[in-house]
A = this chain, B = another copy of it.
Amino acid sequence: MKAAVLGATGYTGMLLLRLLSSHNKIDRIAAVSTSAVGKAIETGDPGLYHNLDGKYISIDDLKEFQPDVIFSALPHLASLPFYRDFIGKSVIIDLSADLRYENQSDFENAYGTEHKAPEFLGKAVFGLSEWYRNDIKKSDLIANPGCYPTCTLLPLLPLLQEEVLGGNLTANALSGISGAGKKAKINNLFVERSENSCAYSPGKTHRHQSEIQKELNYTGKKSDLLFTPHLVPMRRGMVVTTTAELLKPTSDDEISSIFDKYYGNEVFIKVTPGSQPESSHVWGSNRCDISWQINNKRIILFSVIDNLLKGASGQAIQNMNIRFGFKESEGLRTWGDL
């Protein structure tokens, strides 16, 4: 099978090239990058070796390549112009926010800019694999979720669905710096970020809050999320700590049963009652580890992912596996690296 990666020189694109090159079902890979056309891939990306012998190609060359699947790891709104040429021919898995919203004004409020191809809105399935698996199997347009929504939603959705939680939700997230992408900004320099942590874009000012809230609303249960992300000095990794009220007294066993009902058979979700998961446990894996603690009338939920894997490129591969009927864990690790 043939796969293409748009934005192959950014962090999520680079990781997609790596994962695809180790994937048993992928025979040929096209690395598409406007900035590096014609350059040998192993020179442009010195971490590669014996993986991808060719050169970066342009989007124009991609048509000839006829990819079965296209992963777009371009910045928001950059890949929309290309989609019309591939719709109906290739399965598109988009890692940007372009296809995540149904409603044009929701997108535009969150991103502060006009959506240039609103005809695509509402056409893509939201690629939160464990929750939209059946739709993903049938869709040619998959909107891969952001890292914050993935890590926040996975512990919340079962408990909301089962009407355990009251509506006031407070989520605090910690993210590794790779979440900011490979952009030459003062704010992302080693000296600025090492030995430093801070909240940023809290609450109403963060675009991910609306993406998460939208999915919470789909449960049909009332909820009001206040989401505050933080930057912490790691390359990769994400921790979300969410506090909610319990609608009624609930035992650990009841919570455990609910998670077991929803996730008991999931290969990439590990529930670890009685201890808080650490982001290093899932580093390099496509896992989300989940736990909780009950404090009288309130519950604290803990969840961790690798922001570049389950939070981006890994879940994109998982969605490809689902869509094409491969083993869901093909090409992905269930173990965290050291």
Contact = CB atoms under 8 A, between A and B. Distances in A.
Interface string A267-306: 1001010011111111111010100010110101010100
Q: Which of A178, A267, A278, A336 neighbours the largest number of chain B CB atoms within 10 Å of its CB?
A: A278
Interface string A171-203: 010101110001011101111111111111011
B184 A189 contact: yes
A182 B11 CA distance: 22
Contacts of A192: 190, 280
Interface residues of A, number: 81
Contacts of A197: 174, 232, 234, 237, 239, 278-279
Given A190-B189, A198-B239, A198-B276, A338 B178 contact: yes
Interface stretch (A48-56, A152-160, A249-257): A48-56
Contacts of A334: 49-51
Given A49-B334, A272-B46, A190 B235 contact: yes
A319 interface: no
Interface of A: 11, 14-15, 18, 21-22, 46-51, 170, 172, 174, 176-178, 182, 184-186, 188-200, 202-205, 226, 228, 230, 232-237, 239, 241, 243, 267, 270, 272, 275-285, 287, 289, 293, 295-296, 298, 300, 302, 304, 308, 333-338
